[in-house]
Amino acid sequence: MDQKFKQSAIENSDSIVQMWMEEINSIKDGNYTASISDELFESTNREFVNVIFTSIKSQGSTKVVEDFSEKIINLGWPLSYITDGLQVFRRVTIDYILGQSVKIDSSYISDVIKSVDAWVEPIIRQLVNEYSGSWEHIVSLQRVALQELSAPLIPVMDRITVMPLIGTIDTERAKLIMENLLEGVIKHNSEVVLIDITGVPVVDTMVAHHIIQAAEAVRLIGSTCILVGIRPEIAQTIVNLGIDLGKFPTKSSLKKGFTKALEITGREVIEHEKTEENVEKLIDSLKGE
């Protein structure tokens, strides 16, 4: 039976394609693909229906489907284009085969539906898998990218290091912060580490706890930790929460923290009254960077 239906569908592919194209064009209007040019839509549809027929003919040739899904993903078309297209194909083909048949009873109809489903289902499955695979790939890439900017440590001067934190701190990141901090303090031989939380949106008890632990660990290896970039609203919530940050120095800005760090390491910034020309040149060249 199945072979007979397949034969009939392939022989009459022209009329099925015709019906399919009409249907698919009717759902284009007011839908996701409304902004796509007619030409592109038309040519992609032709390709789509060819892919469906090639796949039905060759039974399990996945290469064409793979190439096609890659193309649709690159075009950025929604997954619903593919699922809609295949639903329409199923409906149209069943209609067509039933329309061609003389004797129709319920078991015949169920046979037709079963056969057509068996052609379409593997294509749907493969296309959806390709699609979700590409999303998973993007998500994992972004996770890696996020991890890379997680907890950088910047040695700004001999014995002074800065760790700027930006974004939400979760448990995984808190661990990284601690590791990088301790490793960096030893490696750069820093006496003072400035942790800048200007870019941290919310400081709750968990974040505070991790910062306190990190500062304590830094103290144990003989350095000083200064917490900088505490915005006024963050200061108020910390007080409301009742968190004690009194064990290490804190400053409102990185600038003030840096001055404090210089003081701890026995240095200070001296401004020359006479601005020499070569100094100005040097500053200008720095600004250009």
Partner 1 sequence: MNPQSCVNIQKEWDIVGARQLGRDIARKIGFGTVDQARIATAISELARNIYLYAETGQICFEVIDNMDHKGISMVAIDNGPGIDDVSKVMEDGYSTSGGLGAGLPGVKRLMDDFDLQSEAGKGTRIKAVKWVR
For binding to partner 1 (CB under 8 A), which residues are involved?
Answer: 168, 170-171, 201-206, 208-209, 212, 232-234, 236-237, 240-243
Compare residues 54 and 252 and give the one whose CB is closer to partner 1. Answer: 252
Compare residues 78 and 167 and give the one whose CB is closer to partner 1. Answer: 167
SS3 250: strand
CB of 200 to partner 1, least distance (A): 11
Compare residues 147 and 236 and give the one whose CB is closer to partner 1. Answer: 236
Compare residues 75 and 146 and give the one whose CB is closer to partner 1. Answer: 146
CB of 8 to partner 1, least distance (A): 50
Q: Which two tokens stand for residue 258?
A: 């840096």
CB of 184 to partner 1, least distance (A): 25
Contacts of residue 21, Cβ cutoff 8 Å, sequence gap at least 6 = 45, 49
- Cα-Cα end-to-end distance for the chain: 75
Backbone angles phi, psi at 246, to 5 degrees: -75, -5
CB of 208 to partner 1, least distance (A): 7
CB of 135 to partner 1, least distance (A): 16
Which residue bears the tokens 């759902």? 27
Which residue type occupies 250?
T
Distance CA 245, CA 208 (A): 8
Compare residues 98 and 141 and give the one whose CB is closer to partner 1. Answer: 141
Contacts of residue 68, Cβ cutoff 8 Å, sequence gap at least 6 = 47, 48, 51, 127
Alpha helices in 76-153 (DSSP H): 79-100, 106-148
Compare residues 172 and 280 and give the one whose CB is closer to partner 1. Answer: 172
Which residue type occupies 154?
I
CB of 173 to partner 1, least distance (A): 10
> Edge to edge, what strands does the sheet with 160-166 contain?
154-157, 160-166, 192-199, 224-228
In terms of residues, how long is the chain? 289
